[in-house]
Chains A and B, each alone.
Chain A
Amino acid sequence: MNKIFLICINILIASISKAQFYMGVQSSYNIAVQGRTLGDFLLIDGSFSNTTNDNVFKDKRSSFGGGLKFGAIIGYQVNQYIGIELNSNFHKTNQVSTKATEGNNTTNMSMNGNIISLNPALVGYFFNGNPKIYSKLGIVYNSGKFIYNYNLKTASNQESYSYNLNKGSALGLSFSFGADWKLKQRISIRTELCYISANYYPKKAYLEKYEENGQNQMPSINPKDFEITYSKSGNSDGEYYGSALGEGTLLRPQIPMNGLGLNVGVIYLFRKK
């Protein structure tokens, strides 16, 4: 028993001789992937005819995993094979815009988000030379808000409103493949391809802006009338397109946040143990 214990300690010490803390900053450009038609938010190009009941819809696969991210990295390379890392990012998502026409009336809709994400990951090193090549498997936790804008123009009227969807979170998976290029003894440049699969579930939505012909209509509205609660189960009228924007309690919608991105970072390596 003691022998096994000593062997384990020996292996551990040998491994820790390669252990290293590091910190860094990173920025990434991402494209949205694996989206779907968000009919519940009316994010769909369409043309409607009230007289003939002809509705022409166009598939628009929306995902909010695209956009720019800025963040910090802290990590620990345990030995030459594995490490652990934590990334925290601010993510300004891509915007999805749609247009619907009905005779001379035109409606423009758009949605985008501001998200804070935490991404703890396990790192596996394939090659420990220069560049150091690795892959990462991690969990992504996203929290933040989405803004939904609606603008209707008719021949005589213009109506616009904005919803703030928030208090929700998204839990997903991340997978990355990258290389650290050593510039100096302690400084490395990181290039990384990263795929994230996550879905955001908002809990609340508030009407933030409501204007008709440029006139603010908010003072005349009871705030409770324009508060939406998204729940897992409940009394819901969510039976039609765009129902996720109707006031009251609705079944929570799923907002895809899948993205594929290229990260570039600068890493500072602390002294080895």
Chain B
Amino acid sequence: MGGFAKKSYNIHSKNRYMKIQSNCLLIFLIALPNLIYAQFYLGASSSANIGVNGRSLQEFLLIDATVNQSAFENTLIEKKASFGGGFLISPLIGYQANKHIGFELQVGRYKTNTVSSTITYNNPSDDKVSISMSGKVFTIRPSIIGYIYKSKPLIYAKLGANYSNCEFTTQTSRQKNQTQTSILINGGQSLGISLGIGSEFSLTNRIYLRTELGYVHANYFPEKGTFTKYDVNGVNQLPNMSDKQKTIHYVKEGNVEQTYLGAALDAGTHLSPQIPISSFGLSIALIYKFNKRKTKS
């Protein structure tokens, strides 16, 4: 009985395998005519972006304010900070699988926009703190492309992931005692979503001009901050500081003292802050298309 069951199972399994094989063959045969459209391409793209979807980064003191210390009156002004702005130049490589879909990979590095703020202290002593923050972002964007209009110009939509590795610098300058600090914020990554809609115009048989509107939604969660400058009245204070006093750890969970504005700039351990790097931009690219793959009819 057991042997029969085993044999029956083997036959059933073999039939199933044959069925899978024939289905695969059928899918391949359906895909074959589409492959005449398959095409590799390479290009270079440059885009001008603006930061969008920002928020008041109070933990980095990126907020315009006047503070009246004697009356405990703080007037804060909202400042939506996002570091998605900047100028990105990136090479791209792509593969149009058939007339409906394609894949693309874009790699680039850009210097972000700078966000600056001023905090003015009135009473009892007049004082002013200027804060600015900017970064350098390395980004990788793999995406899937759907072709909407397959003639001239070629119109497409893109949906992809956005992986970024970031490094930010925040600088503060305080009038009182001529105090200047600079903190390098790095470690950690950002994973977001990228969307695009664009068109391709042929210049020659193989060279195409591409214009694209793109949107990226991403946030960066740093892991570490390090004081790289700490001057008081022009005297460097870093040699007198211990490693503990010079280092900030951003963690997902931990013992933190983060209960006030600007806490993310203090040495010690803090909850990982979120730095928005969402962007909206217009890119122009030049594309070189390789020979189309030839298939037998």
A interface residue numbers (CB < 8 A to B): 34, 36-37, 39, 44, 53-59, 81-82, 124-127, 133, 135, 137, 173, 175, 177, 195, 197, 199, 232-241, 251-252, 254, 258
Q: Which residues of A contact B78 (CB under 8 A)?
A: 232-233, 251-252
Query: Is the pair A137, B55 in contact by a Cβ cutoff of 8 Å?
Result: no
User: Chain A: interface secondary structure?
Assistant: strand
Given contacts A44-B271, A135-B148, 13 further A-B contacts (CB under 8 A): A34-B219, A36-B219, A53-B257, A57-B271, A59-B272, A81-B148, A126-B101, A137-B197, A195-B193, A233-B64, A234-B75, A236-B74, A236-B76
Query: Is the pair B253, A125 in contact by a Cβ cutoff of 8 Å?
Result: no
Query: Is the pair A233, B74 in contact by a Cβ cutoff of 8 Å?
Result: no
Query: Is the pair A197, B217 in contact by a Cβ cutoff of 8 Å?
Result: yes
Q: Which of B155, B159, B257 contacts A175 (CB under 8 A)? A: B159
Q: In the bound complex, how far is the Cα of B258 from the Cα of A53, in angstroms?
A: 11
Given contacts A175-B159, A241-B259, contact A234 B254 (CB under 8 A): no
- Binary contact readout B236-278 vs A (1 if CB under 8 angstroms, 0 otherwise): 0000000000000001111111111100000000011010001
Q: How far is the CB of B99 from chain A (nearest CB, A)?
A: 9
- Binary contact readout B176-206 vs A (1 if CB under 8 angstroms, 0 otherwise): 0000000000000000110101000000000
Within 8 A of A (CB), among B77-103: 77-78, 100-101
Residue picked from B148, B192, B197, most chain A C-beta under 10 Å: B148
Query: Is the pair B195, A137 in contact by a Cβ cutoff of 8 Å?
Result: yes
Query: Is the pair B58, A241 in contact by a Cβ cutoff of 8 Å?
Result: no
Q: Which residues of B contact A258 (CB under 8 A)?
A: 217
Interface size class of B (residues with CB under 8 A): 35 or more
B53 at the interface (CB under 8 A from A): yes
Q: In the bound complex, how far is the Cα of B261 from the Cα of A63, in angstroms?
A: 22
Query: Is the pair B58, A238 in contact by a Cβ cutoff of 8 Å?
Result: yes
Given contacts A56-B254, A56-B256, contact A235 B159 (CB under 8 A): no
B217 nearest in chain A by CB position: A197
B285 at the interface (CB under 8 A from A): no
Given contacts A125-B148, A233-B76, A233-B78, contact A54 B255 (CB under 8 A): yes
Q: Which residues of A contact B75 (CB under 8 A)?
A: 233-236
B9 at the interface (CB under 8 A from A): no
Within 8 A of A (CB), among B132-181: 146-149, 155, 157, 159
Query: Is the pair A56, B253 in contact by a Cβ cutoff of 8 Å?
Result: yes
Q: How far is the CB of A242 from chain B (nearest CB, A)?
A: 9
Q: In the bound complex, how far is the Cα of B101 from the Cα of A232, in angstroms?
A: 44
B280 nearest in chain A by CB position: A173
Query: Is the pair B215, A238 in contact by a Cβ cutoff of 8 Å?
Result: no
Q: Which residues of B contact A254 (CB under 8 A)?
A: 55-56
Query: Is the pair B195, A55 in contact by a Cβ cutoff of 8 Å?
Result: no
Q: Which residues of B contact A56 (CB under 8 A)?
A: 253-256
Query: Is the pair B254, A34 in contact by a Cβ cutoff of 8 Å?
Result: no
Query: Is the pair B157, A135 in contact by a Cβ cutoff of 8 Å?
Result: yes
A232 nearest in chain B by CB position: B78
Q: How far is the CB of A72 from chain B (nearest CB, A)?
A: 25
Query: Is the pair B260, A82 in contact by a Cβ cutoff of 8 Å?
Result: no
